[in-house]
Structure 1
Amino acid sequence: MSETITRTTTEAPNSFTQAELGWEAWLEPLPLEELTERHYAGLVDKGRANSPYFRLLVRDPDILGARTRTDNDIFYNEKGGLTRALRELSATAASRTNGCIFCASVHSRFASHYSKRPDDVQRLLDEGTAAPQDDPQWRAVIDASVALTVVPNEFGAENVRALRDAGLDDVAIIDAINGAAFFNWANRLMLSLGEPTPPKA
């Protein structure tokens, strides 16, 4: 049985940022020295053992392995479909909607890196998902992500039409949906297990 741990931070970040935040679990992550080959197989990437979040999830290595392979396929498999920048934008919009400051920080950095448009990404973080975006694809992806995140059945034919009118084909539309849907779930899991910590000095 995992035991709760003492909160070591004095104040969790309370605003959206592209800074690299830390994360603190409210339950005991699996200690590094207790990781077995089965745990490392569940992590998929051994570097994730440095993250308290993944060391918490790896208590069930089979579920984490399936989760991580799904994540990797949605965001890293660029054989056609949506650009990496727009995949990261979909995750950022979902995270901004759900109030997941940590996930929004991670995926907004990726969206800025791959799009080379950090000011547009920052506007999304600062002003919210309704903030003006001049690019029709950005607007359509953000709106679709919000609709899926708030209440999934809010997403409908008009969102698909907007994505298609913005120039996305069926595979790209599926990628936009998958990115938002995955992070709609992932945000809620992370929000229930711990909290972000301030950037390292």
Structure 2
Amino acid sequence: MIEKTLSHPDNCEPVAFTQEELGWLPWLEPLSADELTDRHWAGLVDASRAKSPYFLLLARDPEVLEARTKTDKDIFYNTSSGLPRAERELAATATSRFNGCIFCASVHSRFATVHSKRGEEIQRLLDEGVDADIDRRWNAIIEASTALTATPLVSDDGLVEGLQRAGLDDLEIVDVINGAAFFNWANRLMLSLGEPTFPVKSA
């Protein structure tokens, strides 16, 4: 268990799943932008991530962060084949909803809405949980993502068969597995390092 070194007694953590943009407060001291060396910038991959306290914290181990970021980008942005972006984001949203990661669910539900134009159904997943009945294909993606996330693992051959019956081909199934597996790990990392917060509203 990680011992908190930073506390945020005045933070009012969001308790409901939302597509609203949230902030995040670390429990461990992140690097400051002034401390970043060429090695850290390489680890961030995307310079804009230096604005995020989460990535500035992970930049303390820049080689691991670089591998993590490149894996993330390949899973969600390399859409020349396999699942469309919206359903990759759906898998991440379902995983985050099941794991209770309000911050990650907010990020990926927004992406799922942008790319699918099905915001009401995405919100229903957030409101009702992973048992929400949407449609055959999305239900199968949500069910598979949840099965891959559960501890102990509950996935079996039926998981793949369910996705096949819903019309997914082999490459699409690999993308569901990648998206859910990556966020199963990413949720646990984020949940152990800090807490979500409502962003400060500009006047």
Same-fold call, TM > 0.5?
yes
1:5-36 Cα offsets, whole Å, 9 max, x none, are: 24164311111000000000001100110001
The corresponding residue for 2:96 is 95
The corresponding residue for 2:127 is 126
1:80 aligns with 2:81: yes
What does 1:1-201 align with in structure 2 at a 5 Å threshold? Answer: 4-7=5-8, 9-133=10-134, 135-151=135-151, 153-201=153-201
Q: What residue identity is the alignment partner of 1:131?
A: A
CA distance in 1, matches of 2:152, 2:107: 23
TM-aligned CA deviation for residue 124 of structure 1: 0.3
Instruction: Percent identity, please.
Output: 62
Q: What residue identity is the alignment partner of 1:33?
A: D
Q: What residue identity is the alignment partner of 2:90?
A: L
CA distance in 1, matches of 2:73, 2:190: 17
CA distance in 2, matches of 1:109, 1:152: 29
Q: Report the TM-score, using the length of structure 2 for normalisation.
A: 0.95
CA distance in 1, matches of 2:44, 2:9: 25
CA distance in 2, matches of 1:153, 1:51: 32
CA distance in 2, matches of 1:9, 1:99: 22
Q: What residue identity is the alignment partner of 1:128?
A: G
SS at 2:79's partner residue? coil
TM-aligned CA deviation for residue 155 of structure 1: 1.1
TM-aligned CA deviation for residue 165 of structure 1: 1.1
SS at 1:24's partner residue? strand
Runs of 4+ aligned structure 1 residues displaced above 4 Å come to: none
Task: Compare 4-13 and 67-76 and name the one that shifted more.
Answer: 4-13
1:19/1:199 contact within 8 Å kept: no
1:25/1:195 contact within 8 Å kept: yes
TM-aligned CA deviation for residue 152 of structure 1: 6.1
SS at 2:55's partner residue? helix
CA distance in 1, matches of 2:25, 2:103: 11
1:159-179 Cα offsets, whole Å, 9 max, x none, are: 111111111110100000000
Stretches of structure 2 that go unaligned for 5 or more consecutive residues are none
Q: Report the TM-score, using the length of structure 1 for normalisation.
A: 0.96
TM-aligned CA deviation for residue 200 of structure 1: 2.9
1:129-167 Cα offsets, whole Å, 9 max, x none, are: 00111x211010000000011136311111111111111
TM-aligned CA deviation for residue 48 of structure 1: 0.2
1:25-74 Cα offsets, whole Å, 9 max, x none, are: 00110011000111010000000000000000000000000000011110
RMSD over aligned CA atoms reads 1.4
